[in-house]
């Protein structure tokens, strides 16, 4: 089973944009109990999400999961999974993620620099509000838990 | 793009590679610019109101959240103001550690702006991603520089985003010398990389523009000012931060959520790397001063497009000073100075990567904030940004719209605008009749 790096992306003070950070913290709390879990097997970090920081964060890692708030128009809290290396239509420069320049741009930059990990997956949590100072919208916390279950199942399955 | 027989206009969904959100509307009749408005329309965040009623010791944690790019600047200006009220002199050891942390932020911010945000403009790329495809080694150099800045912030500040270790009076936890010494090899590499950055940027093609600026920057007689000092200008100002509100005025502008600042009785001014260079050039580290001379920079540089060279020179200064600070480091004990709370008013300044950052606070006798005033650099230079564009546009109006748009965006990025600090993103509209 390969080691896993989980990167929570977002801004803890900007409403639902905190989802990635909260999810990363929850992974850190939960992964000790996972098969293959523990400090050497699952690493967790938080990132503001700009491409340079993300490329820094996944430097040397092979299996990377990025958790971020996304806006696709779906119900709040819905979880989506995107293979960032193989999703042919993933739009660079669009606000799919909650950041103007985020995971998609980081993938494009890392591809130019030949610094992509072997596996790079986005777990997106559908968000609604990014108002500074606000808490999470109803449904986002449930989305975070669903994202955690999904990441754990993926890690247990070794895929 | 929309064209009619009499009117030509186009909208650009967003100006990329700026931190924040705003818009620029330009109206042209014939060859005359009849209207030019740079607007910031993000919802104001009311940080100043939010701070009222909070204890003074919370100020570094709260103000760090204002900006993801320059949290240390907010923490430092705030701490300076509070320490003035409380009568705290943190001493040389804490000052040096504070400077090291702040220079880490300069390295992180300048490397990002020079390599990924601004350089693509000069080389004709839509952005850093496209530039990286043709110049991977250059972009990798920039990213490695940025990573060092982040590493310094994490080592001293506790983490690179919204550092948690700084506090009023110093640092919550001391930093062991071996933590800093471990970074020395990478700082040595960074100094060479910064010198190479100056060589690279000086060879870029620069549009002609030489406005007459009044430069305003923090001044420290003993060092290239970063963490504290008096406020000086090329027009003769030399004031204590406490004299800010008699010297500068902020105006509400209907189109913008950010206040516009100007010098009382005079007008707009320029803060940022060019202003620091104009006011404090001789205080640069000798290696940075030499690099500036080799780059052809004189005592003052007025072409705002050459701000990219000055940021590179400041990278040399920052990395050279970091080496000195690491080599001379003695862990300050205690790591912070504490004084009982008292009522009063305090003013604090420091040089954020993009310019002078002013804070003012009033405390009651229990140490709770009764009033707060925060003036970020981007709101200080908004008028100057508009004036630069007014000066630039007449010379390029005969060019195709796409070329005009490219040059205008490049000119705005000269300021490295952190619009999210001022109150996120720019919509550009040019209308010709």
pLDDT tens per residue, chain B (433 residues)? 343 444 444 343 344 444 445 677 788 887 788 888 776 554 445 788 889 999 999 999 999 888 778 899 999 999 999 999 999 999 999 999 999 999 999 999 999 999 988 999 899 988 888 899 999 999 999 999 999 999 999 999 998 778 999 999 999 999 999 999 999 999 999 999 999 999 999 999 999 899 999 999 999 999 999 999 999 999 999 999 999 999 999 877 666 656 678 999 999 999 999 999 999 999 999 999 999 999 999 888 999 999 999 999 999 999 999 999 999 999 999 999 999 999 999 999 999 999 999 999 999 999 999 999 998 888 888 889 888 988 988 888 888 877 887 888 888 889 887 654 433 234 557 677 7
Q: Does A131 touch chain B (CB under 8 A)?
A: yes
Asked if pLDDT for residue A32 goes beyond 60, the answer is: yes
**Domain with B71 in it:** 51-380
Give a yes or no: residue B240 inside a domain: yes
Q: What are the chain B neighbours of A11 within 8 Å (beta carbons)?
A: 68
Burial A66-75 (b: 16+ CB within 10 A, else e): bbbbbbeeee
Q: Which of B23, B22, B25 is nearest to B9 (CA)?
A: B25
End-to-end CA distance of chain A: 9
Q: In chain A, which among 50-79 make CB contacts under 8 A with chain B?
A: 50-53, 55-56
Please report the pLDDT score of residue A18 as a whole number: 92
Give the per-residue pLDDT at A97.
Answer: 42
Q: For chain A, count helices (H), then strands (E).
A: 4, 5
Interatomic CA distance for residues B236 and B289, integer angstroms: 23
The CATH code of the domain that includes A8 is: 3.40.50.1450
Q: Which residue has the tokens 């705030």?
A: B78
Indicate the DSSP class of residue A137. Answer: P
pLDDT of residue A101: 63
Q: Which tokens belong to A3?
A: 């080691």
CA separation for the pair B300, B284 (Å, rounded): 13
Q: Taking CB atoms and an 8 Å limit, are B116 and A52 in contact across chains?
A: yes
Q: Band the pLDDT of A96: cuts 50, 70, 90.
A: very low
Cα torsion through B38, A94, B43, B261, rounded to 10: -30
**pTM of the shown model:** 0.88
Residue of A99, A112, A116, A129 to mutate for B, most B C-beta atoms under 10 A? A112
Cis preceding-peptide flag for B425 (omega within 30 of 0): no
Which residues pair with residue B19 across a beta bridge? B418
**Would an 8 Å CB–CB cutoff place A28 in contact with chain B?**
no
Q: List, in sequence order, every beta strand (DSSP E) within B31-171.
A: 32-40, 166-167, 170-171
Contacts of A56 in chain B (CB under 8 A): 143, 146-147, 150
- The CA distances from residue B417 to B22, B113, B198, B423, in Å, are 10, 10, 21, 12
Which of B119, B77, B70 shows the shortest CA–CA distance to B420? B70
pLDDT in tens, A71-83: 888 899 999 999 9
Q: Note whether A51 contacts B112, CB cutoff 8 Å.
A: no
Where residue B136 sits, what CATH number does that domain have? 1.10.645.10
In chain A, the number of structural domains is 1
Q: How far is A158 from chain B (nearest CA, A)?
A: 31
ipTM beyond 0.90?
no
Q: Tell me whether residue B389 is in a domain.
A: no
CA Rg value for chain A? 14
The predicted pLDDT at position A92 comes to 44
- Specify if B45 maps to a domain: no
Buried b (16+ CB within 10 A) or exposed e, A103-118: bbbbbbbbebbebbbe
User: A108: which 2 tokens?
Assistant: 């494009």
Question: Which of B178, B115, B174, B167 lies closest to B144, judged by CA?
Answer: B115
**Total count of domains within chain B:** 1
Query: Best residue in A14, A132, A133 to probe B by mutation, most B CBs within 10 Å?
Result: A132
- In chain B, the residue whose alpha carbon lies closest to the alpha carbon of A49 is B68
DSSP of B194-241: HHHHHHHHHTS----------BEEEEBTTBS-SS--EEEETTS-EE-G
Query: What letter would DSSP give residue B43?
Result: P
B15, part of any domain:
no
For residue B39, CA distances in Å to B11, B258, B353 come to 15, 8, 22
Distance CA B312, CA B119 (A): 11
Q: What is the pLDDT of residues A110-152, one digit of tens each?
A: 999 999 999 999 999 999 988 777 889 999 999 999 999 999 9
Interface test with A, best of B68, B109, B129 (most A CBs within 10 A): B129
Range of the domain at A74: 4-156
Q: How many CB atoms lie within 10 A of CB B344?
A: 15
> CB-CB: which of B14, B136, B161 is closest to A48?
B161
Q: Establish if A13 touches chain B: CB-CB under 8 angstroms.
A: yes
Per-position DSSP letters for B254-265, written without gaps between them: TT-SSPEEEETT
Report residue B352 as tokens: 């954020």
Backbone angles phi, psi at B374, to 5 degrees: -130, 120
> DSSP labels for B267-315?
B--B-SHHHHHHHHGGGS-HHHHHHHHHTT--SS---GGGHHHHHHHHH
CB contact under 8 A, A92 and B150: no
Q: Is residue B11 part of a domain?
A: no
What pLDDT is stored for residue A38 in this prediction?
57
Structure tokens at A11: 């801004």
């Amino acid at each position: 089973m390969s080691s896993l790096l989980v990167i929570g992306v977002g801004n803890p003070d900007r409403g639902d944009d905190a989802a990635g950070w909260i999810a990363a913290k929850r992974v850190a709390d939960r992964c000790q109990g996972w098969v293959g879990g523990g400090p050497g097997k699952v690493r967790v970090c938080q990132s503001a999400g700009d491409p340079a920081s993300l490329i820094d964060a996944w430097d040397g890692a092979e299996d990377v999961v990025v958790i971020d708030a996304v806006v696709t128009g779906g119900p709040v809290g819905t979880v989506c999974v995107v293979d960032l290396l193989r999703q042919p239509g993933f739009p660079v420069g669009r606000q799919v993620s909650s950041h103007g320049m985020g995971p998609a741009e980081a993938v494009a930059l890392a591809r130019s620099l030949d610094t992509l990990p072997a596996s790079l997956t986005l777990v997106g949590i559908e968000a609604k509000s990014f108002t500074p100072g606000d808490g999470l919208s109803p449904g986002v916390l449930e989305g975070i838990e669903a994202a955690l279950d999904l990441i754990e199942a993926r890690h247990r399955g070794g895929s | 793009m929309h064209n009619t027989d009499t009117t030509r206009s186009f909208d650009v969904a967003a100006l990329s590679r700026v931190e924040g959100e705003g818009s620029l509307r330009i109206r042209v009749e014939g060859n005359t610019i009849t209207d030019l408005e740079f607007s910031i329309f993000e919802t104001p965040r009311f940080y100043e109101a939010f701070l009222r009623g909070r204890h003074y010791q919370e100020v570094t944690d709260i103000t760090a959240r204002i900006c993801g790019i320059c949290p240390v600047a907010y923490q430092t200006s705030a701490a300076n103001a509070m320490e003035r009220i409380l009568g705290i002199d943190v001493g040389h050891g804490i000052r040096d550690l504070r400077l090291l942390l702040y220079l880490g932020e300069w390295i992180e911010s300048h490397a990002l702006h020079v390599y990924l945000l601004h350089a693509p403009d000069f080389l004709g790329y839509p952005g850093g991603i496209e530039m990286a495809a043709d110049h991977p080694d250059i972009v990798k150099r920039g990213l490695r520089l940025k990573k060092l800045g982040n590493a310094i912030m994490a080592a001293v500040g506790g983490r690179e985003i919204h550092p948690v270790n700084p506090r009023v009076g110093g640092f919550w936890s001391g930093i062991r010398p071996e933590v800093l010494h471990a970074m020395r090899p990478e700082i040595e590499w960074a100094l060479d990389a910064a010198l190479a950055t100056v060589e690279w940027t000086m060879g870029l093609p620069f549009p002609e523009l030489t406005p007459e600026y009044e430069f305003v920057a923090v001044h420290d007689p003993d060092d290239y000012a970063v963490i504290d000092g008096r406020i000086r200008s090329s027009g003769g100002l030399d004031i204590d931060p406490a004299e800010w509100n008699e010297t500068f005025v902020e105006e509400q502008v209907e189109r913008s959520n950010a206040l516009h600042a100007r010098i009382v009785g005079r007008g707009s001014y320029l803060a940022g790397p060019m202003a620091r260079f104009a006011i404090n050039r001789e205080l640069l580290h000798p290696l940075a001063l030499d690099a500036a001379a080799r780059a052809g920079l004189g005592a003052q540089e007025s072409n705002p497009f050459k701000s990219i060279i000055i940021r590179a020179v400041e990278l040399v200064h920052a990395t050279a000073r970091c080496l000195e600070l690491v080599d001379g480091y003695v862990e300050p004990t205690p790591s912070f100075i504490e004084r009982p709370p008292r009522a009063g008013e305090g003013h604090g300044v420091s040089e954020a990567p993009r310019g002078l950052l002013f804070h003012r606070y009033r405390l009651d006798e229990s140490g709770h904030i009764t009033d707060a005033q925060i003036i970020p650099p981007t709101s200080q230079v908004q008028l100057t940004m508009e004036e630069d564009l007014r000066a630039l546009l007449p010379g390029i109006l005969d060019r195709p719209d796409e070329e005009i748009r490219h040059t205008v965006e490049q000119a705005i990025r000269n300021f490295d605008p952190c619009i999210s600090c001022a109150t996120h993103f720019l919509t550009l509209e040019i209308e010709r009749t």
